[in-house]
Amino acid sequence: MTRTFQTIILTARPAAGKSEVIDFLKKLSLEERQRRYHIGQIVEVDDFRYIWEKFEEDDIFMKHGRARLYTDDKYWFKDPWLWDFFLEKMNIAYAKLLRASDIPEKTILVEFARGGENALAHALSVLSTEILKHAGILYINVSYEESVRKNRRRFKPDQADSVLFHSLPDDKMEFYYKINDWHKLAPDKQGVLLLQNIKVPYAVLDNEPEVTDTPQHLAAPLADALERLWQGYLTTR
């Protein structure tokens, strides 16, 4: 019987603590990660790098006197459909990782943030059935106000392209992420969602007051959340 999740969909508002959770897990030994958190060798699929690539590509076009294709000069996406494009890129990356046999006992972490009245529900309808049938969802719960506070705190201008230290301006935070549909989609601390006719378990890690600020604070709450998710995962496989 497997000891680890094959896939975890890790989602939340920006700066809620997703990257800190991954960083914490990566620093554990494989034995402890498997035993206490049901996580194997970590492989990541994160749409941030696809988003940042579009910013860089538009800057290259502009540098050579050409029109920006994807964003305006303040890095707002011209076509909202690009958010689905990034999910489709993750679907492709995931399929490749699922086929790969060079990483034994791997757990694929599929990470993204979405905001809007039905944004998370829509995003989960765009993810491939291959992801959903192998996945559990870990949602990190913070308020919009806490998301804004942490988003401002983490920003390091010289590392704006990094997962841990990128940040959004306040106007983009409000436009994209003030409204969040997670609690409408999943009102309990753990349960099962029916997504594309697939039963997908979920669990919530509360991060307000903050527990992702230090490993000592995070260890026990994360173990509890992942254990609850693991029990749901076993019942839906």
From CA 135, how far away is CA 168, in angstroms rounded? 28
Residue 210: the pLDDT is: 95
Residue 80 domain flag: no
Nearest alpha carbon to residue 5 among 198, 139, 134: 134
What are the φ/ψ torsions at residue 100 (nearest 5 degrees)?
-65, 135
Q: What pLDDT score was predicted for residue 1?
A: 55
Give per-residue pLDDT as tens, 34-48: 999 999 999 999 999
pLDDT in tens, 188-217: 999 999 999 999 999 999 999 999 999 999
Average pLDDT, the chain: 93
202 is a domain residue:
yes
115 lies in a domain? yes
Spatial contact of 150 and 16, defined as CB atoms under 8 Å apart: yes
First to last CA, the chain: 11
For residue 169, what pLDDT is reported? 87
Residue 37 in domain: yes
The token duo for 190 is 């753990």
Please indicate, yes or no, if residue 55 is contained in any of the structural domains: no
Asked whether residue 14 is domain-assigned, the answer is yes
User: In terms of Cα–Cα distance, which of 32, 38, 48 is closest to 1?
Assistant: 38
**32 CB neighbour count, 10 Å cutoff:** 13
213 HSE (CA, 13 A, CB side): 8
* H-run or E-run covering 138: strand 135-141
- The domain tally of the chain equals 1
Average pLDDT score over residue span 12-21: 94
CATH number, residue 25: 3.40.50
pLDDT, position 164: 47
CA–CA dist 234, 237 (Å, integer): 6
Res. 167 pLDDT band, cuts 50 70 90: confident
Task: Please check whether residue 89 lies inside any domain of the structure.
Answer: no
132 found inside a domain: yes
- Domain range for 214 is 7-46+106-236
